[in-house]
Chain A
């Protein structure tokens, strides 16, 4: 029973991380319906920026963290500006293949600079954050990941519901020509959504890096695990991303705990195929109804 509860806690914490990673992905999909295959690489880049700032530049955490997030934000902005803006109006398939190419370039660059080694951040979280309840231990990182996940969920909810930029984004996602004709600056919306997505990706990369250490291969494979999460939650639902993340996280830890550790990494993809067969628009996704 204790094992079960520990697995449950681990699953939920990992799930929040997946949800956090998936939020950035959904952000891009919601505004431009692009599947971003470079998401894992954006996560890894954010983590490495943080590593450079905290490790080699020796900055304190409370300076390095916002700086790393700002770096990710600018990175997302630049990527959109250089690579995606020229493709506005081209068929989506080109944009998606472009992100596949970008993923490969980013991964190569990171491998060139840092190699395939595992790096760890210096320990900086206060031990007081940890939660002990009977025999169940929740390490401080997990507490932090859950807290960050919840904060961002609320922030995004408010952003999309009340801020004018958020409403513009929703309008662009809903009907791009109509949004254009009503004077929404679609380019600005795309740029902003990529920048925010890169910021969220960078942050989830940093949190994952604190837990598992940072390694290019690991982080980019987690970037692909975003797909089962968002398919389960619904491709265009921010809340669905978190719930999907938790379900996938639980599925993974329970498979790893009770069945086999090698099956652990494949189970999300099996779930993906199953969901596509049974409930293709996910739990909270918008069902597209087309009328001709």
Chain B
């Protein structure tokens, strides 16, 4: 058996396999394992219902954010329609569950697949062009999907919304927040594993090559158009799965949340967390969900005090300013986001006391 190994104080890699490992040290692996055990045994029972709700939202948001980061952070294509694609996922799951009667365990992945197909549809036109045309096409996608969700009443019930059945997997009912916690986090772990491993395959490296220099990538024999589309499909799949989980968790869904604001929120998430980092997407989801809940809490307090009610009412624009300012400040000051901050902190410890 190997000894428990900590970070070496330099780069001693000799093989490509070492470069590709997920865990560089046994210390990282064991601490993650311990963390996961604590997450699944202690956390759901130690925290109250509100905290569990927030944690569930973090997990769902993180899945979608990982998807956007695969597209934006790894492939270098910006999407302004991620919010709408989450909506497509939510509505596909809701329609499959209510009108077709598909069970939960099938509805979630099929919602992901449907969203991936819708994504490809909007990715097709931009594939012919280099540059950031996908951004513009997804902007159009955002508005068209939003319109369809509201006006295709035969399918989506329009502004009435859809009420989903409760979740049961093989006859076992998952009806409490705590049981949903397990579903969310198992999904998050599976999706994270897929994403992390995807980036170690030739596909993932092709995405990164396209981001860094598309001409050179094409010269190396990577067909850019199919790979961009593939990346977009994978990203939409993640959005669809997150949307489906969201729909099941909220029980009743309407079209309102899936607007351009949500798409911008997700962009803020991956910038704050760190572009091109799977862990960063999770940090970003944690940060933004925390910020959202913090602002809501602050609004609640302000609204309950008579004198400050006017201040409380102006919190909605403040929320917008906070998201925008977070995007701007992170791009200007730390474009690699929280993931980089965390790496700097870690390497400070690692190289101490000779961190020159």
Binding site for B on A (CB under 8 A): 33, 35, 37, 83, 86-87, 90-94, 96-98, 100-109, 111-112, 224, 227-228, 231, 262-263, 265-266, 269-270, 272-273, 276-277, 280-281, 288, 290, 292
**Contacts of B332 on A, CB cut-off 8 Å?**
83, 86-87, 98
Measured in the bound complex, the distance between the Cα atoms of B267 and A102 in whole Å is 13
Measured in the bound complex, the distance between the Cα atoms of B129 and A224 in whole Å is 20
* B219 touches A (CB below 8 Å): yes
Measured in the bound complex, the distance between the Cα atoms of B124 and A104 in whole Å is 28
Which A residue sits closest to B129, measured CB to CB? A280
Majority SS of interface residues in chain A?
A: helix
Asked whether A270 lies within 8 Å of B144 as measured between CB atoms, the reply is: yes
Measured in the bound complex, the distance between the Cα atoms of B322 and A111 in whole Å is 13
Asked whether B147 lies within 8 Å of A266 as measured between CB atoms, the reply is: yes
Interface centre among A35, A106, A270 (most CB of B within 10 A): A35
Asked whether A269 lies within 8 Å of B125 as measured between CB atoms, the reply is: no
Q: Known: A97-B271, A97-B331. Contact between A112 and B78, CB under 8 A?
A: no
**Contacts of A272 on B, CB cut-off 8 Å?**
136-137, 140
Measured in the bound complex, the distance between the Cα atoms of B151 and A35 in whole Å is 30
A173–chain B nearest beta-carbon distance, Å? 14
Asked whether B140 lies within 8 Å of A227 as measured between CB atoms, the reply is: yes
Asked whether A93 lies within 8 Å of B132 as measured between CB atoms, the reply is: yes
Measured in the bound complex, the distance between the Cα atoms of B331 and A229 in whole Å is 29
* B321 touches A (CB below 8 Å): yes
Partner of A98, one of B215, B321, B328: B328
B158–chain A nearest beta-carbon distance, Å? 11
Measured in the bound complex, the distance between the Cα atoms of B332 and A277 in whole Å is 35
Asked whether A92 lies within 8 Å of B132 as measured between CB atoms, the reply is: yes
A175–chain B nearest beta-carbon distance, Å? 16
Interface centre among A87, A93, A101, A106 (most CB of B within 10 A): A101
Which B residue sits closest to A107, measured CB to CB? B320
**Contacts of A266 on B, CB cut-off 8 Å?**
143-144, 147
Measured in the bound complex, the distance between the Cα atoms of B318 and A92 in whole Å is 28
Measured in the bound complex, the distance between the Cα atoms of B132 and A288 in whole Å is 14
Interface centre among A104, A224, A280 (most CB of B within 10 A): A104
**Contacts of B260 on A, CB cut-off 8 Å?**
224
Other than A87-B331, A101-B268, give 15 A-B pairs with Cβ distance below 8 A.
Answer: A92-B132, A94-B331, A96-B78, A101-B325, A101-B326, A107-B324, A108-B317, A108-B322, A224-B260, A227-B140, A228-B140, A265-B147, A269-B139, A276-B128, A288-B130
Measured in the bound complex, the distance between the Cα atoms of B267 and A93 in whole Å is 11
Q: Known: A273-B140, A276-B133. Contact between A111 and B317, CB under 8 A?
A: yes
* B156 touches A (CB below 8 Å): no
Asked whether B140 lies within 8 Å of A108 as measured between CB atoms, the reply is: no
B198-213 vs A, Cβ < 8 Å mask (1 yes, 0 no)? 0000000000000000
Q: Known: A94-B335, A104-B324. Contact between A290 and B215, CB under 8 A?
A: yes
A10–chain B nearest beta-carbon distance, Å? 22
Asked whether A273 lies within 8 Å of B335 as measured between CB atoms, the reply is: no
Interface contacts (Cβ under 8 Å), in number, total 129
Near A by CB (< 8 A), chain B positions 109-154 give 122, 124-126, 128-133, 135-137, 139-141, 143-144, 147, 151
Which A residue sits closest to B326, measured CB to CB? A101
**Contacts of A104 on B, CB cut-off 8 Å?**
264, 320-321, 323-324, 327
A259–chain B nearest beta-carbon distance, Å? 12
Which B residue sits closest to A224, measured CB to CB? B139
Measured in the bound complex, the distance between the Cα atoms of B141 and A269 in whole Å is 8
Which B residue sits closest to A86, measured CB to CB? B332
B79–chain A nearest beta-carbon distance, Å? 11
**Contacts of A292 on B, CB cut-off 8 Å?**
215, 218-219
Asked whether A35 lies within 8 Å of B320 as measured between CB atoms, the reply is: no
* B72 touches A (CB below 8 Å): yes
Partner of B140, one of A91, A103, A112, A270: A270
Measured in the bound complex, the distance between the Cα atoms of B128 and A231 in whole Å is 14
* B314 touches A (CB below 8 Å): yes
Measured in the bound complex, the distance between the Cα atoms of B322 and A290 in whole Å is 41
A18–chain B nearest beta-carbon distance, Å? 16
Measured in the bound complex, the distance between the Cα atoms of B267 and A101 in whole Å is 9
Q: Can you list 7 contacts pairing A with B, beta carbon distance less than 8 Å?
A: A93-B76, A94-B331, A94-B335, A105-B324, A266-B143, A272-B136, A280-B133
Asked whether B130 lies within 8 Å of A290 as measured between CB atoms, the reply is: yes
Q: Known: A104-B264, A270-B144, A280-B129. Contact between A35 and B317, CB under 8 A?
A: no
Partner of A273, one of B125, B128, B135, B327: B125
* B316 touches A (CB below 8 Å): yes
B277–chain A nearest beta-carbon distance, Å? 15
**Contacts of A273 on B, CB cut-off 8 Å?**
122, 125, 137, 140-141, 144
Asked whether B78 lies within 8 Å of A93 as measured between CB atoms, the reply is: yes
Measured in the bound complex, the distance between the Cα atoms of B131 and A93 in whole Å is 9
B71–chain A nearest beta-carbon distance, Å? 11
A104–chain B nearest beta-carbon distance, Å? 3
Asked whether A103 lies within 8 Å of B136 as measured between CB atoms, the reply is: no
Measured in the bound complex, the distance between the Cα atoms of B264 and A108 in whole Å is 13
Which B residue sits closest to A260, measured CB to CB? B151
Partner of A269, one of B78, B143, B218, B317: B143
**Contacts of B215 on A, CB cut-off 8 Å?**
290, 292
Measured in the bound complex, the distance between the Cα atoms of B141 and A276 in whole Å is 12
A123–chain B nearest beta-carbon distance, Å? 30
B275–chain A nearest beta-carbon distance, Å? 8
**Contacts of B317 on A, CB cut-off 8 Å?**
107-109, 111-112
Q: Known: A101-B268, A269-B144, A273-B140. Contact between A108 and B78, CB under 8 A?
A: no
Partner of B320, one of A91, A108, A231, A262: A108
B263-274 vs A, Cβ < 8 Å mask (1 yes, 0 no)? 010011001000
Q: Known: A91-B76, A94-B335, A98-B328. Contact between A276 and B125, CB under 8 A?
A: yes
Asked whether B140 lies within 8 Å of A101 as measured between CB atoms, the reply is: no
B156–chain A nearest beta-carbon distance, Å? 14
